[in-house]
């Protein structure tokens, strides 16, 4: 039995989620685990090295560093918007507040479709490595199943079902599982990097191994359109997922601050991990297109498995270490399978609460305090999409990483622009606000738009992606990565139009109206009428002009969304006739 009755609304908004269940550390763990560091590097590093039509080569660490910049800038945007409205819908809610219902709906869809698509990759990896890991204990017949499409698909579906069930059982159960899975994964990754670098610096590596150079971190000698932009779309993929820490904001302690801090900390931890592992991998394997070289197309799908036997050797110890490396990728993919379900379920929960999708998706389990239809629906949709792509061609799964880069750039970039527009009235009220709410989010958004445009152009080329036999991977004669990426976004446009015809209230701004960071009187000096919003629901609708021209003498103005005191007046901006003012909503 499920319920839509809100539970603990003061801590969890009005959606019924379990407020205060997670602290900062748990949020960071979920944020980092969502990126699947081991799997992301294994599946992406080869493509980063190859770059686009021109290879990035030893500059791959520079590409990874460059990809961090927009990720950090957008993480700042998430942090600032979360202060105003800690809603689990994140981009959906914030974009709707800033730009209106259509933009908000598409932002929410960007999250949903990206998460559903990546589940196919994650399930495929988890299924394959399940057999590889078990087969490593002297069971070659089981290990051989890792190359059996039917067996891997069944195992992948089991993983989707298992992680959906864990997410269904509660956010605290999910967090405890992540502690174990992420801990093992990070330990193995650091050991792998240290082992590789030790061999390189002691002269016990391979003839083609390279001594790390600081110049590897400078990608600006590469061509932007032919190398940097396409490689960045892949590199962005390895950082993607930290926003899960913000998606669970209504279930954290101090929801206005903790999730945003967790997002920023997660990106910094990922940068450190990726920098170390990428340098170590490039140094040991080199960037050649033969053997274990990172530019060898045969290694692109899983560079760690290609490097492992050479790095660890064929003895008993080497076999154990290789098995543990494989297990780290298994735990990485399975952990990310779970943490991919979390943000999608909460995005659809928020969309349903505001009547942007069917209200059944707003149902909350009365005991576990988790979204029911949203969680189970995510599992079912992911399984169906996985089966569809596997049935058409397993090779198409390779196209998903590039297409995901397009979707990630789409909704992350939209969040950056939403932050600037939401805070536009008070951006210059302080130097900090001008940087953290204006410059950083804007730069992050612009960078992602540029990468998106170049990515679409490159991915659409028929010969951009080829399978192991040298055959072009296309859909309708167009590069599969571009078709999947743009097609996924366009499907959302169709669904949005259909829902707008069926239930127009959300699109009329009746359930989630636009607003910005208005200033109001401190709550102790005003009446009882309240305005719409999360924190703002406890405030009166007495709006103070940014220049304080109507501020009563001796009274204190505060931000309507964050409750922060506003110390300095700002220039009065021109009126926005399309923006509903508080008191008229």
Q: In a 3-state reduction of DSSP, which class is residue 280?
A: helix
Q: What are the start-end ranges of the H helices in 297-395?
A: 303-312, 316-353, 373-392
Closest CA to 567 of 437, 441, 432: 432
86 CB-contact burial (10 Å; exposed 0-12 / middle 13-18 / buried 19+): buried
pLDDT tens-place string over residues 12-46 = 356 778 888 888 988 898 888 888 888 888 878 88
Q: Are 350 and 371 in contact (CB under 8 A)?
A: no
The whole-number pLDDT of residue 200 equals: 95
Output the pLDDT for position 53. Answer: 59
**What is the structure's pLDDT at 271?**
92
Report d(CA 40, CA 35) in Å as an integer: 7
pLDDT at 117: 85
478: β partners: 475
Cα 213 from Cα 273, distance rounded (Å): 18
Among 62, 118, 110, CA closest to 90: 110
SS3 label, residue 357: coil
pLDDT of residue 562: 52
DSSP summary character for residue 437: I
Tokens 């019924």 locate to: 16
Render 23-87 in DSSP notation, one character per residue: -HHHHHHHHHHHT-HHHHHHHHHHHHHH-SSS--GGGHHHHHHHHHHHHHHHHHHHHHHHHH---
What per-residue confidence (pLDDT) applies to 582? 37
- Which tokens is 15 given? 């959606």
Pairing of strands 519-521, 557-559: antiparallel
pLDDT of residue 547: 63
Residue-level pLDDT at 555: 73
Residue of 368, 262, 349 whose CA lies nearest to 87: 349
pLDDT beneath 70, residues of the chain: 1-14, 51-54, 395-401, 467-468, 516-551, 554, 559-564, 567-568, 570-585
Which residue blocks in 148-223 are alpha helix, DSSP H?
149-169, 171-201
The Cα 105–Cα 88 span in angstroms is 14
The dihedral formed by the CA atoms of 256, 258, 264 and 269, expressed in degrees to the nearest 10: -170
pTM value? 0.81
């Amino acid at each position: 039995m499920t319920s839509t009755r809100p539970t603990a609304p003061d801590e969890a908004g009005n959606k019924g989620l379990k407020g205060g269940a997670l602290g900062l550390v748990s949020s960071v763990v979920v944020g980092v685990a969502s990126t699947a560091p081991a799997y992301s590097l294994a599946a992406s590093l080869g493509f980063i090295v190859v770059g686009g039509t021109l290879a990035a080569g030893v500059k791959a660490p520079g590409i990874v560093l460059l990809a961090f910049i927009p990720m950090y800038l957008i993480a700042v945007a998430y942090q600032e918007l979360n202060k105003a409205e800690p809603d689990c819908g994140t981009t959906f809610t914030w974009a709707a507040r800033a730009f209106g219902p259509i933009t908000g709906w598409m932002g929410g869809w960007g999250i949903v479709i990206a998460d559903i698509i990546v589940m196919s990759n994650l399930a495929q990896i988890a299924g394959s490595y399940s057999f590889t890991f078990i087969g490593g204990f002297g069971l070659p017949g089981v290990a051989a199943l890792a190359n059996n499409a039917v067996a891997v698909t069944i195992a992948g579906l089991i993983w989707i079902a298992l992680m959906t069930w864990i997410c269904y059982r509660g956010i605290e159960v999910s967090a405890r599982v992540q502690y174990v899975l992420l801990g093992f994964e990070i330990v193995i990754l650091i050991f792998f990097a240290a082992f590789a670098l030790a061999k390189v610096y002691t002269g016990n590596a391979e003839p083609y191994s390279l001594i790390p150079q600081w110049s590897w971190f400078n990608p600006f000698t590469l061509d932007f359109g032919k190398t940097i932009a396409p490689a960045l779309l892949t590199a962005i993929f390895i950082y993607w997922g930290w926003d899960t820490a913000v998606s669970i904001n209504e279930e954290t302690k101090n929801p206005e601050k903790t999730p945003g801090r967790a997002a920023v900390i997660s990106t910094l931890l990922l940068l450190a991990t990726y920098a170390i592992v990428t340098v170590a991998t490039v140094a040991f394997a080199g960037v050649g297109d033969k053997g274990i070289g990172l530019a060898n197309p045969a290694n692109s799908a899983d560079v760690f498995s290609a490097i492992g036997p050479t790095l660890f050797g064929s003895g008993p110890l080497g076999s154990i270490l290789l098995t543990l490396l494989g297990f780290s990728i298994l735990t990485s993919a399975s952990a990310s399978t779970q943490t991919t379900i979390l943000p999608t379920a909460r995005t659809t929960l928020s969309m349903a609460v505001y009547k942007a999708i069917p209200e059944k998706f707003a149902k909350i389990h009365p005991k576990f305090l988790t979204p029911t239809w949203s969680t189970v629906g995510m599992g079912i949709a992911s399984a169906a999409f996985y089966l569809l792509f596997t049935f058409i061609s397993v090779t198409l799964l390779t196209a998903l990483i590039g297409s995901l880069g397009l979707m990630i750039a789409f909704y992350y970039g939209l969040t950056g622009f939403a932050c600037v527009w939401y805070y536009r009235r008070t951006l210059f009220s302080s130097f900090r606000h001008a940087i953290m709410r204006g410059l950083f989010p804007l730069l992050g958004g612009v960078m992602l738009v540029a990468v998106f445009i170049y990515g679409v152009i490159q991915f659409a080329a028929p010969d951009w992606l080829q399978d192991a036999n040298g055959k072009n991977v296309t859909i309708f004669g167009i590069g599969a990565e571009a078709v999947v990426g743009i097609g996924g976004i366009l499907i959302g446009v169709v669904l949005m139009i259909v829902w707008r015809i069926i239930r127009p209230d959300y699109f009329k701004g009746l359930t989630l109206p636009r607003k910005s960071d208005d200033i109001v009187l401190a709550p102790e000096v005003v009446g009882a009428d309240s305005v719409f919003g999360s924190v703002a629901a406890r405030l009166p609708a007495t709006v103070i002009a940014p220049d304080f021209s109507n501020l009563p003498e001796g009274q204190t103005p505060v931000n309507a969304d964050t409750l922060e005191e506003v110390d300095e007046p700002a220039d009065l901006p021109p009126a926005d006739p399309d923006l509903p003012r508080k008191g008229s909503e």
